[in-house]
Amino acid sequence: MAAAPEKILLTRNPEQSGALESGLRDAGYAVDHLPLTQQVLPQDMGQLRAALDQLAAGEFSWLLLTSGNTVRSLIEAGWDGSVPQTTQIGVVGPGTARVLEELTGLTQVWMPAEHSAAGILAELPAPETSDRLLLPQSAQARSQLAQGLAERGWEITWVTAYATVALPHPETDQLSRGDTVLITSSIAAEVWAQLDTPEITVLAIGEPTALTLNQRGRPADAVLAEPTAAGVVDVLRQRYPRRP
């Protein structure tokens, strides 16, 4: 039987660290980062800046944030974290809430019990007649959330806050045979598929990421629905049951 991995690498930037990294360290794993992508602001900032101006003017009843990357990008684009008293902030989950609090000090947010787009659609309060909602997301975000909100009666302003792009020359020196790598996005999967790597365990976060790996001939050893430490630990303990 193969030895259990001692080191887990995440294909995101260290500044994106959160509960996943700390949970894995608490479980006894060494954690490192292997950035394969980076987040960049839109080339055309017009729509995003206009949306932020409308937000400041009180034209939105809700600001809905679906990732920590979105929060970071809004700050980089000039948002100071302030919203009118008439604007409610919603976040998809605790990771986004943590980044929002760290960067803006905001703590009064709405959050669905199920931390996903499906949870938002199922649990977000119904809109009033004049309610408008600002939804800034990645350029690669799927349209299901925006479409679902519109179908539920929301007037949506859906803008690109950032794009995830491949790093041109990722550093892979820290990879060793027997490590575990968490591929955190489809863009990261595209980059990973082009790398010459030692024999390691590959975990994909989400079905879209797993599909990209399959299409590129580098299938994942397991797929996790959500990027949680508990999920990663469960998968590794199933693969390596002798680890305490």
- pLDDT confidence of residue 1: 44
3-12, 136-145, 172-181: which has the minimum mean pLDDT? 3-12
Q: Which residue has the tokens 């017009």?
A: 46
Three-state secondary-structure class, residue 28 = coil
Calculate the average pLDDT of the chain.
91
Position 242 scores a pLDDT of 58
- Closest to 103 in 3D by CA, of 56, 68, 137: 68
Confidence check: pLDDT of 4 > 70: no
pTM, entire model: 0.81
Residue with tokens 């995003």: 48
Q: Confidence band (pLDDT; 50, 70, 90) for 14? A: confident
CATH number, domain 7-36+167-239: 3.40.50.10090
Assigned CATH for 40-163: 3.40.50.10090
Across 13-27, 46-60, 188-202, the highest mean pLDDT is recorded for 46-60
| pLDDT at 191 > cutoff 90 | yes
Q: Which ranges in the chain are annotated with CATH 3.40.50.10090? A: 7-36+167-239, 40-163
Strands 155-166 and 37-40: antiparallel
Helices (H), the chain: 19-26, 46-56, 68-76, 94-104, 117-123, 144-151, 186-192, 207-215, 229-239
Contact 33, 14 (CB under 8 A): yes
Residues 6+ apart with CB under 8 A from 68: 16, 18, 95, 96, 98, 99, 100
Tokens 């045979």 sit at which residue?
177
- CA gap 102, 215 in Å, rounded: 38
Residue type present at position 35:
P
- The tens digit of pLDDT for each residue in 83-129 reads 999 999 999 998 899 999 999 999 999 999 998 899 999 999 999 98
Task: Provide the angle, in degrees to the nearest 10, between the axes of the packed helices 19-26 and 94-104.
Answer: 110
Name the band, by pLDDT with cuts 50, 70 and 90, for residue 225. confident
Please give the pLDDT value at position 155.
96
Q: Examine the pLDDT at 16 and tell me if it is beyond 90.
A: no
Contacts 24+ apart (CB under 8 A), 105-111: 105/81, 106/81
Confidence band for 240, pLDDT divided at 50, 70 and 90 = confident
Contact 171, 9 (CB under 8 A): no
Instruction: Give residue 5's pLDDT band: very low, low, confident or very high (50, 70, 90).
Output: low
- Beta-ladder partners of 89: 63
Q: Are 192 and 36 in contact (CB under 8 A)?
A: yes
